[in-house]
Amino acid sequence: MVETIVPGKVNGTIPAPPSKSSMQRACAAALLHQGETILSRPGKADDDLAALSVIQALGAKVDALPDGRLRIISQGVHPQTKVLDCGESGLGIRMFTPLAALSDQALTIQGRGSLVKRPMDFFDEVLPQLGVGVSTQGGKLPLEVKGPLQARSIQIDGSMSSQFLTGLLMAFATTANTDVVIEVNDLKSKPYIDLTLSVLAHFGWEVVHENHARFRFQARKPQPEQINY
């Protein structure tokens, strides 16, 4: 039997899967935002779910709406538990550690899988300069931190991962004065830092940079009660 297939037009729209990089950053910003955040297309990957778990452990309330959106209500960082589990998310462990350090409580931050083998020396070197007590297991997880983090001008090495800088930018954006500067040497993955800055700007925190080498924090603007992302 011979069948003839006639070419036709394909119509319709298929939504792309949400970006894990964007979703996790939005979760962090929603935690820092004092008010309500609506995530229109939340991701469901393991790293996304780990980020939601961490922000709930740090004080945010997360509700699933009937239409698939997520509502996050937060009044900033107010830990509800002493242990934070970032799963296997490298971004999560590097971004949420400085945010956890905004609290004055002693917190343990842990992960699983290959994450336990990744170097965390950056925090050993940098966080004490910001008034944070920190200890690691020979530069590996678990991490123990005790803040509160104090946003001060600092110089860091960006060659290992831009994710460490993302965490500092998030923490500094909510606390730093306009004279505070983060200087970065040899920054890798600049587009991911641009994404971080874009998410911060969406939530009302403006950070300007000079060729991704010097980051300054603008005066904070009044934020709306509800932010849609």
- Tell which residue, 126, 118, 121, 156, has the closest CA to residue 136: 121
Residue 216: strand pairing partners: 181, 208
Cα–Cα distance measured from residue 113 to residue 95, given in angstroms and rounded to the nearest whole number? 18
CB-CB contact of 181 with 172 (8 Å): no
Structural domain contains residue 224: no
Structural domain includes residue 12: no
Residue-averaged pLDDT of the chain? 94
Residue with more model confidence, 104 or 3: 104
CA distance 95 to 211: 22
Q: Which residue has the tokens 């961490």?
A: 54
Element spanning 179, H or E: none
Scan for tokens 């600092």, then name that residue.
154
Q: In this structure, is residue 104 part of a structural domain? A: yes
Q: Which domain holds residue 120?
A: 20-218
Q: Each residue of 63-95: pLDDT tens digit?
A: 999 999 999 999 999 999 999 999 999 999 999
Percent of the chain at pLDDT > 70 equals 99
Q: Based on the structure, what is the number of domains in the chain?
A: 1
Tell me how crowded residue 162 is: count the other CB atoms within 10 A of its CB: 23
CA distance 159 to 166: 13
Cα separation, 100 vs 171, in Å, equals: 9
Per-residue model confidence (pLDDT) at position 222: 65
Assign residue 94 the CATH number of its domain.
3.65.10.10
pLDDT higher than 70, residue 158: yes
pLDDT, tens digit, 9 for 90 and up, residues 204-220: 999 999 999 999 999 87
Mean predicted confidence (pLDDT) in 154-167: 97
67 within a domain of the structure (yes/no):
yes
Q: Which amino acid is at 125?
A: E
- Answer whether residue 68 is part of any domain: yes
Query: Residue 194: CB partners within 8 Å, gap ≥ 6?
Result: none
11 lies in some domain: no
Which residues have C-beta within 8 Å of that of residue 124, sequence separation ≥ 6? 134, 136, 139
> Which pTM does this prediction carry?
0.92
45: helix, strand or coil: coil
Q: Does residue 205 lie in a domain region? A: yes
